[in-house]
Amino acid sequence: MLLTADVGNTNIKLGLFDGEELRHKMRFSTDTRKTSDEFAVVLHSFFQVYGIDVNLINASIISSVVPKVTQPLKDAIKIVTAVKSYVVGPGLKTGMDLKIDRPETLGGDIVCGCVGAFKKYGGPLIMIFMGTATVIAYVDESFAYHGGVIAPGVGISLDALTQNGALLPSVDLLAPKNVICTNTVDCIRSAVTYGNACMLDGLIDKFCEEKGKECKIIATGGLAEKIICSCRHDIVYDENIILDGMYNIYQKNNKNRYK
């Protein structure tokens, strides 16, 4: 079985593949203060909750955008499973041609998401990541990554607004019935949901215009589902596409593939 660990700025998402099937998932908060022993306790609890025999885990891969967490988590996986983890980054084969200025700076989550999406949906493709930041990336039909845009994430933008506006309340991300609203809560909801949807639609149009091609559009991330339902474009939501990409990358780099 293959253990995948997607380390983001806000959460760490674990996935366990049995063959090509993603059998189990778990999410917990990213904490740069945790030691390898503390991460080992979390992993051990994960396996206990799902009744997983750690002796069946014979492979592991990590994608991380939080360097302080990468090594402690890698050590923790070794402690619990006795397996050495691959880490997505320079030197690891992905099959994707990175046509950007500094390929080594591209986040592992973006690499994995684009690999997973291209493998599953083909190209040309626009891949949307909606987490701490909103990232929109373009991959052409030959599996070349051409870059994209980075914007403040939905949650960060909303927090900045409500924390710095003394009279503005915290709100959920439920889209109101109308764009033009008559109370403060719905006005904020409207701007956050419809505003971000319009941003996505506008940038998708710009991407397609600049490349002169119609694209498949895939979105992932905890907040994506709440936003893309208000978009004009047909956007496929794929919750596990980063984990799927990690599976694909592991397979490409390991000759003796796990069973």
Is the pLDDT score of 141 beyond 70?
Answer: yes
What digits encode the pLDDT tens for the residues 1-40? 999 999 999 899 999 999 999 999 999 999 999 999 999 9
Residues in Cβ contact with 87 at an 8 Å cutoff, skipping those fewer than 6 apart = 61, 62, 63, 64, 70, 74, 108
Which one of the listed residues 109, 186, 238, 244 is annotated catalytic?
Answer: 109
Alpha-carbon span 239 to 258, nearest angstrom: 24
Is the pLDDT score of 259 beyond 50?
Answer: no
Q: Stretch 153-161: mean pLDDT, rounded?
A: 88
Alpha-carbon span 98 to 143, nearest angstrom: 9
What pLDDT sits at residue 160?
87
Question: DSSP class of residue 144?
Answer: E
- Tell which residue, 67, 157, 64, has the closest CA to residue 111: 64
What digits encode the pLDDT tens for the residues 163-196? 877 767 778 888 999 999 999 999 999 999 999 9
Phi–psi pair at 131, nearest 5 degrees? -130, -130
Burial status of residue 57 (CB atoms within 10 A of its CB: 0-12, 13-18, 19 or more): buried
Query: For 61, what's the count of Cα atoms within 13 Å in the CB-facing half-sphere?
Result: 29
Percent of the chain with pLDDT over 90: 86
What pLDDT sits at residue 135?
97
What digits encode the pLDDT tens for the residues 224-235? 999 999 999 999
Please identify which residue in the block is written with the tokens 């403060």: 184
Is the pLDDT score of 144 beyond 80?
Answer: yes
Percent of the chain with pLDDT over 70: 97
Confidence category of residue 256, pLDDT binned at 50, 70, 90: low
Helix (H) or strand (E) holding 25: strand 21-29
Q: Stretch 108-124: mean pLDDT, rounded?
A: 97
Is the pLDDT score of 257 beyond 80?
Answer: no
When the pLDDT of each residue in the chain is averaged and rounded to a whole number, the result is 93
Alpha-carbon span 180 to 92, nearest angstrom: 49
Q: Stretch 89-106: mean pLDDT, rounded?
A: 94
Residues in Cβ contact with 164 at an 8 Å cutoff, skipping those fewer than 6 apart = none
Q: Stretch 126-152: mean pLDDT, rounded?
A: 96
What digits encode the pLDDT tens for the residues 188-226? 999 999 999 999 999 999 999 999 999 999 999 988 999
**Structural domains of the chain sorted by starting position, each given as residue range(s) with its CATH number in brackets:** 2-87 (3.30.420.40), 97-244 (3.30.420.40)
Q: Stretch 146-161: mean pLDDT, rounded?
A: 92
Sheet of 133-139: strands edge to edge? 97-98, 144-152, 133-139, 125-130, 216-220, 236-237
Q: What angle do CA 238, 30, 115 make, to 5 degrees?
A: 35
Q: Stretch 65-90: mean pLDDT, rounded?
A: 96
- The CB density around residue 207, as the number of other CB atoms within 10 Å, is 20
Alpha-carbon span 63 to 70, nearest angstrom: 8
What pLDDT sits at residue 28?
92
Does the annotation count 140 as an active-site position?
A: no
Contacts made by residues 157-164, CB under 8 angstroms, sequence distance 24+: 157/192, 158/188, 158/192, 161/188, 162/188
Q: Stretch 58-81: mean pLDDT, rounded?
A: 96
Q: What tokens does 70 get?
A: 């990468």
Compute CA distances 69 → 11, 210, 218, 219, whole Å.
11, 38, 28, 25
> Please, are residues 126 and 133 in contact by the beta-carbon 8 Å criterion?
no
Q: Stretch 72-92: mean pLDDT, rounded?
A: 95
